[in-house]
Amino acid sequence: MTDTDLITDEPDEPVMKAPADLAAAMIARLDEKYDLIYVQYDDKLYDKQVDALVAGEWETFYGLLEDFESDSMYSGAKYEIEQLHQQVIADWSNQEPKADLSEVENFDAFVGTDEFDEVRFAMSDRDNGDWLRTLAGNAGRVLMRVTCISEDHSFAFREVTPEQVLDAVGFEHTEHNLKAVADGLAKCSPEHSVLMGYWVWGADVETFLDLHDGQDVEVTNPYLYLGNPFAGSGWIFEDPLHGTVRIKRDDLRTDKDAFGYSLNDVYGGLSPSSFPADMRPIPSTTDTTKEKA
């Protein structure tokens, strides 16, 4: 028997794990759902975002959120992927002791690669966090101002009775309403000025996330502001009027976004909580869940 006749067992060659293997292993371990965007206690919608949300200007609204969403989604996904990386490397080390992990064990080197993005995109597709509602909730309440007496129908340089004002806004001549308007007119001085009319109330920002396009609202017991938005003058009635007004979705505006000087430009320091009113979405007759043909 010669040496060449001897059969020897050669040691197994180490299996090289590549970034593609790592990405595949991570994707196989993904959860069904993720909440990738972390909203801190002081994160909230800022004024321009609230203005766009209230007005139903969705393209502008989501455009203003794009950077926050993108940056936060990336950070959240990176954190989750790092946890997955640790799990996969640990399992390979235990279950495949001969595997060569030199190309995949450094997480920092994996970040930013095509394989990292593959995992990130797959994870982002599974995000179902309610971060937008949290941002809106953190924004609290917003002061609303919606026209109810236009410039063409304004009261200008003449005596005005409470009955005329109530007729103009479509509210009943109750004892409360007549007194509230009479008190307000005494401070507005219509005989010396131009008075347009605005409904004023405070509303939860989060409410507007649930309003569909074209869905009107009813506001019960709103406050009335009579004034001149061109000059920044006028008066907010101290007491709300008793009654309910229907307001079109397209007419909804924040005080800052409505035409002319805002009430806070005129008065300063007004809190939406000082003008409580009940705003209720009117059920839509259109099934908004169906895609347009």
C-beta separation of 24 from 114 below 8 A: no
Residue 41 CA, distance from chain mean position? 15
236-256 pLDDT tens trace: 999 999 999 999 999 999 999
pLDDT of residue 1 exceeding 60: no
Q: 198 or 5, which is more confident?
A: 198
Residue 287 CA, distance from chain mean position? 22
pLDDT class for 5, splitting at 50, 70, 90?
A: low
Cα–Cα distance for residue pair 115/162, rounded to 1 Å: 71
Cα–Cα distance for residue pair 166/198, rounded to 1 Å: 13
C-beta separation of 203 from 155 below 8 A: no
User: How does the average pLDDT of the chain come out, rounded?
Assistant: 92
pLDDT class for 18, splitting at 50, 70, 90?
A: very high
Q: Strand, helix or coil at 6?
A: coil
7 contacts: CB under 8 Å, gap ≥ 6: none
Res 287: pLDDT: 45
pLDDT of residue 82 exceeding 80: yes
99-133 pLDDT tens trace: 999 999 999 999 999 999 999 999 999 999 999 99
Q: Which residue has the tokens 């069904």?
A: 32
Q: Tell me the mean pLDDT in the region 35-40.
A: 96
163-193 pLDDT tens trace: 999 999 999 999 999 999 999 999 988 888 8
Q: Tell me the mean pLDDT in the region 25-42.
A: 96
Cα–Cα distance for residue pair 153/163, rounded to 1 Å: 15
Q: 293 or 226, which is more confident?
A: 226
Res 11: pLDDT: 52
Cα–Cα distance for residue pair 237/218, rounded to 1 Å: 20
C-beta separation of 223 from 241 below 8 A: yes
Q: Tell me the mean pLDDT in the region 23-45.
A: 96
Res 2: pLDDT: 54
5 contacts: CB under 8 Å, gap ≥ 6: none
Cα–Cα distance for residue pair 194/133, rounded to 1 Å: 41
Q: Tell me the mean pLDDT in the region 58-72.
A: 97
Q: Which of 257, 139, 143, 275 is nearest to 220 (CA)?
A: 275
pLDDT of residue 289 exceeding 50: no
Q: Which residue has the tokens 């993005």?
A: 117
Res 198: pLDDT: 97
In the chain, beta strands by DSSP E: 141-149, 155-156, 194-204, 217-220, 223-228, 233-236, 244-247, 278-281
The pTM of the full predicted model, rounded to 2 decimals, is 0.86
126-164 pLDDT tens trace: 999 999 999 999 999 999 999 999 999 999 999 999 999
Q: Which residue has the tokens 């307000």?
A: 184
Residue-range domain boundaries for the chain: 14-133, 140-281
